[in-house]
Amino acid sequence: MTIVLTPYWSNGVQKLKVAPQPPPKPARGLTPPVLDESIHYRRCLAQLRSKDKGIEKYIYLSQLKDADANMFYKLCLNHMSEITPLIYTPTVGDACQQYSHIYRRPEGLYISIKDKGNVGKVLRNWPKIDDARISVVTDGSRILGLGDLGVNGMPISIGKLSLYIAGAGIRPSATIPICIDVGTDNKEFLEDPLYLGLRQPRIPQAEMHELMEEFMHEMSVVFPHLIIQFEDFSTDKAFAFLKAFRDKYPLFNDDIQGTGAVVLSGFLNAAKISSAASGRPLKDHKILFLGAGSAGVGVGMQLMSFFKLQGLSEQEARERIYLVDSQGLIFDSRGPMAEHKKFFSRKDYNGPPMKDLVDIIDYVKPTALLGLSTIKGAFNQPVIETMSALNPRPIIFPLSNPVRLSECEFHEAVEWSKGMVIFASGSPFPQQEFNGHTLYPGQGNNMYVFPGIGLGSILARVSSITDSMIEAASLGLANSLTEEEHSLDLVYPRIERIREISAGIALAVIREAQKNGVDRSIDLRKMPDAALLSFIKSKMWNP
């Protein structure tokens, strides 16, 4: 038996610890006589493909991860495009809705309002405290586009961390999925005898903030090396908690910042294709959003970076972005509105309320239409045709998840734009044949950026995650396409290259953290880029 000692720092002192050992193989007689690893890999893949429903495949993969994590992640890495939609969107939406019915065994950490005052004690029950490096935290109040799912939101945290492991090589023992249960306002779940969460309405905002203050403080004490990702908090809480804690702890909100980063990246590439067709300069693009929640406003703020990169001022960049909510175009004289919507509220329109999307498109004349509304079919034929009449290559990004809430589907956008659409969606769609050409949809999946953000933040041991680090991740993704991918007019790289992409993003994030002075791994500052990239890849866990 070989014992490997690895160095680590504790309170400024370098110490040694025993590196984790792979579990021993079962003794002879405890497995069939001919159990070959490569054959068993084929067996597991065949079992997965024998299931005919996404939720059944999800259940099978969950059981496989529990029984044989190495095999689970081998399947993920070798069949990324096939398995990602099963462990994350769109299938994870069904898994959340049915979580209390398909539950098998505990996974993750649950903090409830009943633990208030004792949160630290509960956190210390986690069995691998010293290994913990990254956590995804949700309160289940706005899961995807499905609303308040309460404790049934836990599969979101689990699924995201599976993608950190598969996409960036974070060690499985370093991850902590967490669900904060403060009740639910979902009447169906409160009446469901199998529901696993507290049977009470959600607590008031003031009490929630007190719990989060305690939770975040105790997390920093119990897990001093932890990066935290907030996931699927309702819009008001998402903005409030990000603002309250981002300067105190190393954290980011994937719905606000991650979505914004991945959309900015796709838009950078889409805008170049669109401008090449129209002859317009990049700074002349206009973006119209349908949906003004945390994701819509967060993406809008991130897309301001696109215009600032073209030389526009912050105010000029803001004026290139228009938002539409359930009451139509957002403008100042419309009346009272939620605080987060005011940032993009128009000051240059004082007419009557404008609610019809086609009318709004005719008025704004956008080059890009982005959907974060969760309204199925919102981008209908008149909408796509109007966008196509205004632009030789219209940019259409229906980003709502899951598929059944997407503003339009790829085949519709292709047909109604006569094959000219530049398309990216939140959930996957199949490629389409049109006039003898194969057209490929982009998928603006956050998994392109958050694994690299997490990996870079862990390796740099950052004290906080800055906006410029998120922007660096976005630019890193935008620049990761190969010549072949550019030739096919893709706006995102192929997901099969996710490890390579994540390493490049981690490099960009580390360098930006160093510029911002928030890194604590000072030895990395001396490394040239090539050496640092090799170091990053060496730290990726492989099954």
Average pLDDT on 148-168 reads 97
Does residue 274 contact residue 285 with C-beta atoms inside 8 Å?
yes
Does residue 227 contact residue 519 with C-beta atoms inside 8 Å?
no
Indicate the residue among 230, 253, 276 that finishes a domain.
253
pLDDT the model gives residue 476:
96
User: How would residue 294 be classed by pLDDT, with cut points 50, 70 and 90?
Assistant: confident
pLDDT the model gives residue 267:
97
In angstroms, the CA 242 to CA 240 distance is: 6
User: How would residue 343 be classed by pLDDT, with cut points 50, 70 and 90?
Assistant: very high
The helix, strand and coil proportions of the chain, stated in percent and rounded to the nearest 5, come to 50, 15, 35
| Shared domain check, 364 and 268 | yes
| Shared domain check, 491 and 405 | no
| Shared domain check, 450 and 438 | no
* Residue 255 annotated in ligand binding: yes
Q: What is the DSSP string of 470-497?
A: HHHHHHHHHTT--HHHHHTT-SS--GGG
| Shared domain check, 127 and 64 | no
How many other β-carbons are positioned within 10 Å of the β-carbon of residue 62? 23
Indicate the residue among 223, 253, 283 that finishes a domain.
253
88 is catalytic: yes
| Shared domain check, 405 and 485 | no
* Residue 188 annotated in ligand binding: no
What predicted TM-score, i.e. pTM, was given to this entire model? 0.90
| Shared domain check, 422 and 284 | yes
Look at residue 436 and tell me if it is in a domain: yes
CATH number, residue 497: 3.40.50.10380
Indicate the residue among 411, 443, 475 that finishes a domain.
443
User: How would residue 278 be classed by pLDDT, with cut points 50, 70 and 90?
Assistant: very high
Place of tokens 């095999």: 71
- Catalytic residue, from 160, 164, 237, 322: name it: 160
Q: 109 phi and psi, to 5 degrees?
A: -125, 135
In angstroms, the CA 158 to CA 232 distance is: 13
* Residue 232 annotated in ligand binding: yes
Look at residue 10 and tell me if it is in a domain: yes
pLDDT above 70: residue 201: yes
99 is catalytic: no
Average pLDDT on 514-522 reads 96
Look at residue 89 and tell me if it is in a domain: no
pLDDT above 80: residue 269: yes
Look at residue 27 and tell me if it is in a domain: no
| Shared domain check, 201 and 113 | yes
In angstroms, the CA 499 to CA 432 distance is: 27
pLDDT the model gives residue 259:
87
Look at residue 88 and tell me if it is in a domain: no
Does residue 300 contact residue 371 with C-beta atoms inside 8 Å?
no
In angstroms, the CA 449 to CA 495 distance is: 11
Q: Which of 324-328, 401-405, 497-501 has the lowest mean pLDDT?
A: 401-405
- Catalytic residue, from 57, 58, 74, 88: name it: 88
In angstroms, the CA 509 to CA 500 distance is: 14
pLDDT the model gives residue 1:
53
pLDDT the model gives residue 528:
97
Q: Which of 10-14, 32-36, 209-213 has the lowest mean pLDDT?
A: 10-14
The string of pLDDT tens digits covering residues 407-426 is 999 999 999 999 999 999 98
User: How would residue 46 be classed by pLDDT, with cut points 50, 70 and 90?
Assistant: very high
In angstroms, the CA 378 to CA 474 distance is: 27
The string of pLDDT tens digits covering residues 356-378 is 999 999 999 999 999 999 999 99
Look at residue 127 and tell me if it is in a domain: yes
For residue 26, what is the DSSP state?
Answer: P
Q: Average pLDDT, whole number, for the chain? A: 94
| Shared domain check, 460 and 427 | no
Number of structural domains, the chain? Answer: 4
User: How would residue 231 be classed by pLDDT, with cut points 50, 70 and 90?
Assistant: very high
**Strand ranges of the sheet holding 287-290, from the earlier edge strand across to the other edge:** 328-329, 321-325, 287-290, 368-371, 395-398, 422-425, 442-443
Residue range of the domain that includes 527: 446-539
* Residue 485 annotated in ligand binding: no
User: How would residue 9 be classed by pLDDT, with cut points 50, 70 and 90?
Assistant: low
**Strand ranges of the sheet holding 251-253, from the earlier edge strand across to the other edge:** 109-112, 175-181, 134-138, 227-230, 251-253
pLDDT the model gives residue 90:
86
Burial-class residue 249 by CB neighbours within 10 Å (0-12, 13-18, 19+).
Answer: middle
| Shared domain check, 455 and 424 | no
User: HSE (CB half, 13 Å, CA atoms) of 460?
Assistant: 32
Look at residue 97 and tell me if it is in a domain: no
Does residue 372 contact residue 256 with C-beta atoms inside 8 Å?
no
| Shared domain check, 369 and 510 | no
CATH number, residue 410: 3.40.50.720
* Residue 497 annotated in ligand binding: no
Average pLDDT on 319-329 reads 95
Look at residue 33 and tell me if it is in a domain: no
In angstroms, the CA 125 to CA 439 distance is: 51
pLDDT the model gives residue 281:
97
The string of pLDDT tens digits covering residues 68-119 is 999 999 999 999 989 999 999 889 999 999 999 999 999 999 999 999 999 9
Distance of CA 72 to the CA centre of its chain: 21
User: How would residue 11 be classed by pLDDT, with cut points 50, 70 and 90?
Assistant: low
The string of pLDDT tens digits covering residues 373-382 is 999 999 999 9
pLDDT above 60: residue 208: yes
In angstroms, the CA 394 to CA 379 distance is: 13
| Shared domain check, 115 and 79 | no
| Shared domain check, 405 and 355 | yes
* Residue 118 annotated in ligand binding: no
Residues 6+ apart with CB under 8 A from 53: none
Q: Which long-range contacts (CB under 8 A, 24 or more apart) does 410-416 make?
A: 410/439, 410/441, 412/379, 412/381, 412/384, 413/379, 413/384, 414/439, 416/381, 416/384, 416/385, 416/388
